[in-house]
Copies of this chain bind each other. A is one copy, B any other.
Amino acid sequence: MTPLYVARPLLPPLEDLTELLGEIWSSGIVTNEGPLHNRLEAELAQRLNVPFAKLFNNGTVAMLCALLSLDLSPGAEIITTPLTFAATAHAIAACGYKPVFADICEDTLTLDPRAVEKAITSKTEAVIGVHVYGTLCDVEGLDRVCKAHDLKLLYDAAHAFAAMQGGTPVGTMGDLSVFSLHATKLFSTFEGGLVTSNDEGMAQRLRLARNFGIMNEERVAVVGINGKMSEVHAAIGLLNLKIFEEERDIRRALRAEYDQVVGRLPGLRAQIKQPGVKQSEQYYMIIVDPQVYGATRDEIYDALKEREIFSRKYFWPICTDFDCYKNFTIHTVHDAPVSNNVKDRVLCLPFHSGVEAEHIAAVADVLTELHCTRREPSVSKVG
């Protein structure tokens, strides 16, 4: 059995890429909003059913540009969840703003609107919800809080490419949604990012933010950086756009298989299923209750690793465990933050088209064995 990782990059056929590279070599246009870049933006806007889609060189730079395009006050506070990839909080801090952490809901593990409300101060100017593991935020709840307090509402949709809630495409939620198109993502350009919005003015500001604030040869209007995606990465995107749905279908079937395994084992629960939501199929996440299951998340991780199956402790450490945010509060409506309670219990299993039947069987073996062997001594102790 070959070693297995949580994610595997989607690779388009190399012959097809070589053909598109030929186009680039002929035109001599290798970056700066070239023809393939513009074609990919148009195709993504159509595919994601959003009015405006702007490409970036990666998801973090996309978030930086999104924040720049909001023109917030120096030192503004931005509320987000601690249960997210480092990029969310770091993008806030790298711009000189202050990340403020609010707790998550127990079921979805996404930002709790009630906790957001508790975290608001006179300096708060924006909220970033994260559709973590592809589970969608309480979009209505966050919208209500942000409208009531006149805050910008952004979504980190890195895990939620092409997700839908009822008839609502994920990219149309809030003021804007930021996607990562990194190699680990369902749809990828190897390195890449995307911001979607319903608002044309916002789309124009995003475009300025990613190209040095340059309006034209004679005028630089605002602070901007370089967020441009090259033609080579755009070419990869055009090709992967044709095949990512097939990958998603395979993952959907894989989810059902994992669900069967996890469903049999007390103390393990899979990521929540949201009614009416079409999942991105980005991650397969389980939550471990060690008291009931008989072993900890870390023990599962180690046991899988012994079989060369590399799961990930996503997300641990959480942002408030980082050296740079160590003394930051997690604002919560509970006695203790849910975030701190779940961070040691979540685990993402390998989830992509490279996961074969033998891998699933091996995962099932490990999970079942750990449960059974650990339960016994505990039972005998009681006896």
**Contact residues of A with B, CB < 8 Å?**
8-9, 11, 14, 17-18, 21-22, 25, 28, 30-32, 57-61, 64, 68, 74-75, 85-87, 90-91, 93-97, 182-183, 190-191, 212-214, 217-226, 228-233, 236, 313, 317, 319, 321-324
Nearest residue (CB) in B for A57 is B57
Q: Contact between A87 and B324 (Cβ–Cβ < 8 Å)?
A: no
Q: Contact between A57 and B191 (Cβ–Cβ < 8 Å)?
A: yes
Residues in chain B near residue A229, CB distance under 8 A: 191
What's the number of copies of this chain in the assembled complex? 2
Most buried by B among A95, A223, A313: A223
Q: Contact between A317 and B11 (Cβ–Cβ < 8 Å)?
A: no
CA distance A224 to B218 in the complex (A): 33
Nearest residue (CB) in B for A18 is B18
Residues in chain B near residue A58, CB distance under 8 A: 57, 226, 228
Q: Knowing that A87-B226, A190-B231 are A-B contacts, what are 19 other residue pairs whose CB atoms are under 8 Å apart, sorted by A's residue number?
A: A8-B28, A9-B28, A11-B30, A14-B21, A57-B57, A57-B61, A58-B226, A61-B61, A64-B64, A87-B212, A87-B225, A91-B225, A96-B96, A96-B97, A190-B232, A219-B317, A219-B322, A220-B319, A221-B324
Question: How near does chain B come to A208, taking the closest CB pair, in angstroms?
Answer: 11
Question: How near does chain B come to A12, taking the closest CB pair, in angstroms?
Answer: 9
Q: Contact between A94 and B68 (Cβ–Cβ < 8 Å)?
A: yes
Residues in chain B near residue A97, CB distance under 8 A: 96
Which of B96, B183, B228 interacts with A31 by CB under 8 Å?
B183
CA distance A229 to B86 in the complex (A): 18
Indicate whether A224 sits within 8 Å of B31 (C-beta atoms), given known contacts A25-B11, A190-B231, A233-B230: no
Residues in chain B near residue A74, CB distance under 8 A: 75, 96
Question: How near does chain B come to A128, taking the closest CB pair, in angstroms?
Answer: 15
Q: Contact between A191 and B31 (Cβ–Cβ < 8 Å)?
A: yes
Residues in chain B near residue A93, CB distance under 8 A: 223
Nearest residue (CB) in B for A322 is B220
A-B contacts, 26 listed (Cβ < 8 Å): A8-B28, A31-B182, A31-B183, A31-B190, A32-B183, A57-B58, A58-B228, A59-B226, A60-B212, A60-B225, A64-B225, A86-B214, A90-B213, A90-B224, A94-B223, A94-B225, A96-B96, A182-B226, A190-B230, A191-B228, A191-B229, A191-B230, A220-B317, A221-B323, A232-B232, A232-B233
